[in-house]
Amino acid sequence: MHSRAAYRAATPPLHVLFSTWHAAPVPLGVLLVASIAYIVGVVRVRRRGEAWPVLRTIGFFGLGLAPYAVIELGFLGTYSSELRWAFSTRIALLIFAVPAGVAAGRPLELYSRATGDRGRARLDRLLATRIVRITGNAMVATVVIAAVFCLFLTPVAGILRVNPVVEASLGVVVPLVGLAMVLPMMALGAVHTGTFIAIEFLLAFVELLIDSVPGLLLRLNDTVLDLIPDAARAVSWWPSTLHDQHLAGDLIWFIAEFADVPILVILMVRWMRTDRAEAKTFDDLTDEEYDEMTRAHLHGPR
């Protein structure tokens, strides 16, 4: 039986959570490059005599880059290599929250409008590739998120957490993986039929339940799964090894309950757009074309 000390409810006080910051070169570089690229795109759009909505710019910086800065430079990034729950929460937010926030700024549309016909053609070719059509599928996105969460149940999570080079590179790789799923998903709405999107919708609801399983297993397991020794600290709020894992499971479970919500919202928007497009197609038909289509549907080709 485990001692009470192993299960002590050791969590950092609020002043520690909000006052812990560090200057990490990798996330600072990401923030700088992303900010400059977006601002340059907005300037080019306006030089072409077009308007770019201010709300999209606010969304990009306020919902995308600001959370990224808080995650990577704040408490989670500072203690990511030492605390399991900080590491798992950081990774979950980087693959889920940050890409959703960046997508609010519509960076693909900004690139298309800032680069003119050539850029639009390049983007269309990219979106037409098989790999992008796969990553832009909501079913693939939810499976990838579930697979990432499952890594926390293996020693791989410990290796990723304690290796300083790998741990730092995750701050770039993980958001890019999230963006590779979210951005094409938003852009490919016009190429999917309403029936296909309905199937995606149903499977996304199933994945919503599956994504919570890794967190439950972390919370209920009384064996340290990543096989990494305790990174003890002489502070009152530092958790034991097992309690650290349980906190990670609690937070992953909580985040997983909301992880698919943006995907479901995107699917709803795509479904509405597809429905409007299909309705417009029917409205554009002449009476004779509509009657012929109805006969073909009811009786089949002759």
The two structure tokens encoding residue 107: 């960076």
For 187-218, write each residue's pLDDT tens digit.
Answer: 765 445 555 556 666 666 666 667 778 888 89
For 28-71, write each residue's pLDDT tens digit.
Answer: 999 999 999 999 999 999 999 899 999 999 999 999 999 999 99
CA angle in degrees (0–180, nearest 5) for 109-31-70: 110
The residue ranking higher by pLDDT, 228 or 57, is 57
Q: How many CB atoms lie within 10 A of CB 239?
A: 24
The pTM of the full predicted model, rounded to 2 decimals, is: 0.80
- DSSP-based three-state secondary structure for 148: helix
Q: How far is it, in rounded angstroms, from Cα 292 to Cα 286?
A: 10
The residue ranking higher by pLDDT, 233 or 263, is 233
How would you class 216 by CB atoms within 10 Å of its CB: exposed for 0-12, middle for 13-18, buried for 19 or more? middle
Lowest average pLDDT, out of 83-87, 159-163, 174-178, 203-207, goes to 203-207
Q: How far is it, in rounded angstroms, from Cα 201 to Cα 181?
A: 15
Q: How far is it, in rounded angstroms, from Cα 94 to Cα 177?
A: 9
Residue 168 has pLDDT above 90, yes or no: yes
Cβ(76)–Cβ(82) below 8 Å? no
| Predicted pLDDT at 10 | 65
Residue 297 has pLDDT above 80, yes or no: no
Q: Where are the alpha helices (DSSP H) in 188-286?
A: 194-210, 213-220, 241-259, 261-283
The residue ranking higher by pLDDT, 107 or 236, is 107
Mean residue pLDDT across the chain? 82
* pLDDT bracket for residue 7 (50, 70, 90): very low
